Amino acid sequence: MRPLRVGIVCPYSFDAPGGVQFHVRDLAEALRDAGHEVSVLAPADDDTEVPDVVTPAGRAVPVRYNGSVARLAFGPRAAARVRRWIDAGRFDVLHLHEPMTPSLSMLALWVAEGPVVATFHTSQVRSRALQVAHPLLRQSLEKISARIAVSEDARRTLVEHLGGDAVVIPNGVYVDRFAGAPGAERWRGTPEAPTVAFLGRLDEPRKGLQVLAEAAPAILAAQPGTRFLVAGKGDAGRAAAEAVLGEHGAAFEWLGGVSDADKAALLRSADLYVAPQTGGESFGIVLVEAMSAGTGVVASDLGAFRRVLDDGTAGRLFRTGDPAALAEAVVAALADPADTRARRDRATAFVRRFDWATVTDQVLAVYEMSVAATEALGEGTVRQDLLAGRSTWLLGRRPRAGLAGER
Burial 101-128 (b: 16+ CB within 10 A, else e): bbbbbbbbbbbbbbbbbbbbbbbbeebe
Task: State yes or no: pLDDT of 171 exceeds 70.
Answer: yes
pTM value is 0.86
SS3 171: coil
Burial 151-177 (b: 16+ CB within 10 A, else e): bbbbbbbbeebbeeebeebbbbbbbee
Asked if 27 and 73 sit in the same domain, the reply is yes
Rounded CA-CA distance 320/276 in Å is 7
Task: Tell me the pLDDT band of 393, cut-offs 50, 70 and 90.
Answer: very low
Nearest by Cα to 82 from 63, 56, 101 = 56
Asked if 188 and 287 sit in the same domain, the reply is yes
Rounded CA-CA distance 203/197 in Å is 17
Q: The sheet that has 37-42: what strands, in order across it? A: 54-56, 37-42, 5-9, 93-97, 116-120, 146-149, 167-168
Task: State yes or no: pLDDT of 288 exceeds 50.
Answer: yes
357-370 pLDDT, tens digit per residue, is: 999 999 999 999 99
* Residues forming a β-bridge with 96: 9, 118
What does DSSP say about strands 116-120 and 383-384: parallel, antiparallel, or unpaired?
A: unpaired
Average pLDDT over residues 23-31: 97
CATH number of 365's domain: 3.40.50.2000
Which range of 43-52, 140-149, 290-299, 388-397 scores highest in mean pLDDT? It is 290-299
Asked if 165 and 226 sit in the same domain, the reply is no
Asked if 125 and 238 sit in the same domain, the reply is no
Domain boundary among 353, 369, 384: 353
Spatial CB neighbours of 325, under 8 Å, sequence gap ≥ 6: 318, 319
Rounded CA-CA distance 315/204 in Å is 24
Task: State yes or no: pLDDT of 176 exceeds 80.
Answer: yes
Rounded CA-CA distance 154/158 in Å is 6
Computed over every residue of the chain, the mean pLDDT equals 89
Rounded CA-CA distance 359/245 in Å is 41
Which class for 224: exposed (0-12), middle (13-18), buried (19 or more C-beta within 10 A)? Answer: exposed
101-135 pLDDT, tens digit per residue, is: 889 999 999 989 899 999 999 886 555 555 556 66
Length of the chain: 407
Task: Tell me the pLDDT band of 66, cut-offs 50, 70 and 90.
Answer: low
Domain boundary among 353, 374, 392: 353
- Contact indicator for 287, 276 with CB cutoff of 8 Å: no
Asked if 255 and 191 sit in the same domain, the reply is yes
Asked if 122 and 233 sit in the same domain, the reply is no
Asked if 163 and 284 sit in the same domain, the reply is no
Asked if 184 and 262 sit in the same domain, the reply is yes
Average pLDDT over residues 239-264: 96
Asked if 193 and 300 sit in the same domain, the reply is yes
Burial 188-210 (b: 16+ CB within 10 A, else e): ebeeeebbbbbbbbbbbbbbbbb
Rounded CA-CA distance 336/342 in Å is 10
Task: Tell me the pLDDT band of 141, cut-offs 50, 70 and 90.
Answer: confident
SS3 62: strand
Asked if 235 and 273 sit in the same domain, the reply is yes
SS3 178: helix
The pLDDT value given to residue 404? 34
* Residues forming a β-bridge with 196: 228, 272
DSSP string computed for 293-358:
TT-EEEEE--HHHHHHTGGGTTSEEE-TT-HHHHHHHHHHHHH-HHHHHHHHHHHHHHGGGGBHHH
Question: Which of 67-76, 83-92, 200-209 is least confident?
Answer: 67-76
Task: State yes or no: pLDDT of 136 exceeds 80.
Answer: no
Q: How many CA atoms lie within 13 A of 242 on its CB side?
A: 12
Q: How many CA atoms lie within 13 A of 37 on its CB side?
A: 8
Which residue segment(s) compose the domain that 320 sits in? 176-353
Asked if 331 and 362 sit in the same domain, the reply is no
* Number of structural domains the chain divides into: 2
Domain boundary among 336, 353, 370: 353
Give the number of other CB atoms < 10 A from CB of residue 18: 17
Q: Which residue type does 347 have?
A: A
Task: State yes or no: pLDDT of 290 exceeds 70.
Answer: yes
Which range of 60-69, 106-115, 216-225 scores highest in mean pLDDT? It is 216-225
Task: Tell me the pLDDT band of 12, cut-offs 50, 70 and 90.
Answer: very high
Q: Write out 208-268 in H/E/C secondary structure.
A: CHHHHHHHHHHHHHHCCCCEEEEECCCHHHHHHHHHHHHHHHHHEEEEECCCHHHHHHHHH
Asked if 18 and 134 sit in the same domain, the reply is yes
